[in-house]
Amino acid sequence: MEEPEKLYFGEHDKSVLDIFSTKESDNEVEYARTDAFIEKADKFISSFFHPDDTELKKGILDEFHKYMKEK
């Protein structure tokens, strides 16, 4: 079974940990897997580059990955 990209925690989850992979209300807190977030951001950032700008795109994505993995 593959992990969901997002998990939701609602008000009723405070006493017993009850995790959902679908949003059930607007009051829930959404948590995204880091790797899923970075992959989606990579696609977005890459869409702004011309196909000939591979070195520039790679440099920016590498810096973005380093920044996102800092603690």
Q: How far apart are CA 2 and CA 24, in angstroms?
A: 21
The SS3 of residue 57 is helix
Higher-pLDDT residue of 61 and 29 is 61
pLDDT for 71: 58
**Tens of pLDDT, residues 23-42:** 777 877 777 788 888 999 99
- Mean pLDDT within 8-24: 63
